[in-house]
Amino acid sequence: MKIIILLNPAARRGKARQLLTGALRIFREQQIDFEVRESQDATHLEQLARAAGAEHPDLIVSAGGDGTHHYVINGMFRSGVPLGLLPLGTGNDLPTALGLPVDASAAAATIMQGQVREIDLAQTGAAVYAGIAGMGFDSTVTRYANEHAQWLGGPAAYAWSILRCLGKYRPHPLEIRTDAESFSGGVLFAVVANSASYGGGIRLAPRARIDDGRLDICIVPYVGRGELLRWAPRAYWGEHLRHPGIKYFQARKVVMCSAGKMELFGDGEFLQELPAIIEVLPRSLRAIVPARRSGTSSGDVLPVSCGIGKS
């Protein structure tokens, strides 16, 4: 069998190569035929993923953080090749959503023993994302974190960026139309989620499931600085939904527009400016997840082997 590993060497603030060492040891012990291909930047990473998919290996492995996984998925998901994740980033929300360990060596062992599961993606324009897309204050914070707080990483970077951006932010008018509900008004931010968390465990869409064929929409109204600081920590446990002004519902298709300039970020990466249309792509990615334990329900795990193990 053949595995192609796509590595973002810049992940975890340049420590990705070092963190990958333990995972590669696991593959060698299992006598796996693998090849590591390093990316130069995001565009190159997506190109590598597209080329890897065209080769139809037994498995493509994305080695990096959630941003790395985002570009790998965009390059290879149409190939039908299963995807394994080695969490070498600081947030690792997508591996967590799939029930994977966040230790790289443990994740490599899971890949060897795991099963294939079909999961949803969300599509906007030509791009897809696996986690959460946000706009408004959310995207302002994400851009600040990407550009000025990479030295922190994970939840700390997001929390620091909130504090740095809070004083200058003003509400934006937003219109959202879906196949379920609609909204129009001023917002602090809004997200369209395919999975539950982002930013290293912030459970902004706690009811989201990555394979339910639905997108979860969470709309946060504009609130004062003090109220936001009181409520923001509750998002780490999904308890922010108790706020009476927050609107939360599910839909399959979301149309968004704003009279002001609003950017849309997905998986922590810039996607586009509004207007935007987001649709769910049910079960469009084959991902490796932990093997089902004996006596548990099979759920949506495919009953076929993904061929991982010794040749």
Strands (E), 140-295: 172-178, 182-193, 215-221, 247-251, 253-257, 263-266, 269-273, 276-289
Structure tokens at 82: 């299963």
Selection from 245, 139, 247, 128 nearest residue 195 by Cα: 128
- pTM of the prediction? 0.88
Q: Give 51-67 pLDDT, tens digit per residue.
A: 999 999 999 999 999 99
Sketch out the chain's domains with CATH numbers: 2-114 (3.40.50.10330), 128-281 (2.60.200.40)
Q: Give 4-49 pLDDT, tens digit per residue.
A: 999 999 988 788 999 999 999 999 999 999 999 999 999 999 999 9
Instruction: Tell me the sheet residues that pair with 127.
Output: 124
Check residue 293 and give its pLDDT.
65
Q: Can you tell me the distance from the alpha carbon of 261 to that of 87, in angstroms, rounded to the nearest whole number?
A: 34
Block residue for tokens 């922010």: 240
Write out residues in the chain with pLDDT < 70, as ranges.
150-155, 158, 293-311
Selection from 191, 195, 218 nearest residue 66 by Cα: 195
